[in-house]
Structure 1
């Protein structure tokens, strides 16, 4: 090929036209539709989840502005009066704020300390079961409580621990001992919620950890056995490091929901005797925002919870990066 023709091609390649970023965007657009046609069933499978998040998570974000308004359903968002941070000042100066903060953080920390490690420990124990029939049977049994509603779980709790009709107190009476009022004792309330959460969700929580363990190369265990490592040492040096990244990511996500204690569970277990330790942000928003119609005030509380969750996630994510661990982004 002559120098002249090579020079012409070089000039055509360097001729002014679309820039490199624009060409890349165009190529991506051209590849998008073939990809959509090829994987259309996968996108259809993801569509319900995407619609759920769009309708119930992203669209409601636009209505957070009513937290800065004296919102009236008759005037709408555009016609309601702007009051700035008035509802936030009212909330932070409310004597109930510190009680709500204490109860919410107390219940969340109980779940973080006792409930969060429970699926990890159970997954490690399940991984050591060699009888596959027994392992599958136990897995099926511990998954079942996840599908029970909190109403049913409250009914079971009442039948077990009620002072007048509970099975535990009936057994105490039969043995000549005095009954124990567990459901109306404020000292037992946080512990009761934690035990309920563990019983209901610990089996379901093991799924992701068992999946992480399944990715471990069996040759690592074989090499450890050849080196004389026992079960505990194999668990500590092989299994747990394989789960470390998953544990860290789930821990960061858990911190993001530390201000959410679960409305249904707390609301069902609450009674007049335990209100001082049971009232949390979620139940307070329902009582004030829904039942009393203070929509702007309750929206301000919800926005405060969301901001705290985002800040905790960002801080935990930065800490994970500094420690050299996997993070969300």
Structure 2
């Protein structure tokens, strides 16, 4: 009798457990429907971006296997023979490896420091402008280059640096100085690329920092002025802490791209001149030349290495930030 009673109790408990699970599932589905119905316009807006990433970022990931194969066009990806890590070995033992890794990482770090420093200073200066018309003129002028294509920026740069009729050489000759052969002297290009990258990209960064400054309560500045704080101290103790969260997120993303340069900048501005490779060649331009010559295996290996290292860097930097100040972490 006791055994039968125990069995009935277990069956009832199991039935209650199943009913509670079913109820919980229905509640979750109901909440999901509510979320979908409330946010459907937002989901529709994100649909083009999702389709883009699926088609051009996730679907091609199958091609990663080419990094471990001796790719033959007549055999295709699946039919090409496996070579293991020989493509990676070929790249890292080549004379190009050190040059393009040094340039890619070096320029990335340089651009991070220069762009963030200039963007922060200019955003702080914009925050001091009270005339709305003047402010809009400055913002438009600084943001406009961001929307220009690198092809157009390349032509503008060539107008300045052309050996024969370049504006810069004509200016130097007007001062009684000798013009330069800019496209055959690699030593000048770290400065040229840094200035060009800053001119085109700093406007958007300024906009992010300025937007963060707009969230600061004006009463904080008023209280600081009453306490005798000058503009420098107000910036240090009020403005910069307000910008720090967005700066941290942008820095994490930028460090994740340390092994990924801006292809348009490094291809269109130096015009792919071989004499300049020592200071202008990066991983992305090296991959492009590999695709152009049909060396798919090594190209895929370098691209895979680039992506994996970038992911690892993002995870490491985000973990460090989370340990120091969790609210500033990316995820």
Question: TM (normalized to structure 1)?
Answer: 0.90
RMSD across aligned positions (CA): 2.1
Partner of 1:314: 315
1: CA distance, partners of 2:206 / 2:24:
43
Where 1:116 maps in the other structure, the secondary structure is helix
1: CA distance, partners of 2:220 / 2:22:
48
Partner of 1:274: 276
Where 2:184 maps in the other structure, the secondary structure is coil
Aligned counterparts, 1:176-325, within 5 A:
176-268=176-268, 269=270, 270-288=272-290, 290-325=291-326
Partner of 1:126: 126
Where 1:39 maps in the other structure, the secondary structure is helix
Partner of 1:41: 41
Specify whether residues 257 and 15 from structure 1 end up closer, same or farther in structure 2 by C-alpha distance, changes over 3 A only.
same
2: CA distance, partners of 1:264 / 1:119:
21
Specify whether residues 30 and 137 from structure 1 end up closer, same or farther in structure 2 by C-alpha distance, changes over 3 A only.
same
Specify whether residues 21 and 87 from structure 1 end up closer, same or farther in structure 2 by C-alpha distance, changes over 3 A only.
farther
Specify whether residues 33 and 68 from structure 1 end up closer, same or farther in structure 2 by C-alpha distance, changes over 3 A only.
same
2: CA distance, partners of 1:213 / 1:294:
49
Contact kept? 1:115, 1:194, Cα under 8 Å = no
Where 2:182 maps in the other structure, the secondary structure is coil
2: CA distance, partners of 1:194 / 1:151:
17
Specify whether residues 210 and 83 from structure 1 end up closer, same or farther in structure 2 by C-alpha distance, changes over 3 A only.
same
Partner of 1:145: 145
Shift of 1:33: 2.4
Shift of 1:30: 2.2
Q: Deviations over 1:119-150 (max 9, x none)?
A: 22221111111111100111011111111111
Shift of 1:12: 8.2
Partner of 1:6: none
Shift of 1:21: 6.5
Q: Deviations over 1:248-293 (max 9, x none)?
A: 11111101101111112211213132122222111111112x2121
2: CA distance, partners of 1:291 / 1:25:
53
| Most deviating of 16-25 and 154-163 | 16-25
1: CA distance, partners of 2:210 / 2:18:
50
Shift of 1:170: 1.0
The number of residue pairs the alignment matches comes to 318
Q: Deviations over 1:13-41 (max 9, x none)?
A: 99533386665443222222233233221
Contact kept? 1:110, 1:190, Cα under 8 Å = no
1: CA distance, partners of 2:183 / 2:102:
20
2: CA distance, partners of 1:121 / 1:19:
61
Specify whether residues 19 and 59 from structure 1 end up closer, same or farther in structure 2 by C-alpha distance, changes over 3 A only.
farther
2: CA distance, partners of 1:317 / 1:257:
13
1: CA distance, partners of 2:283 / 2:76:
25
Specify whether residues 75 and 225 from structure 1 end up closer, same or farther in structure 2 by C-alpha distance, changes over 3 A only.
same
| Most deviating of 201-210 and 130-139 | 201-210
Shift of 1:99: 1.3
2: CA distance, partners of 1:42 / 1:91:
44
1: CA distance, partners of 2:149 / 2:249:
27
2: CA distance, partners of 1:224 / 1:76:
68
1: CA distance, partners of 2:213 / 2:13:
52
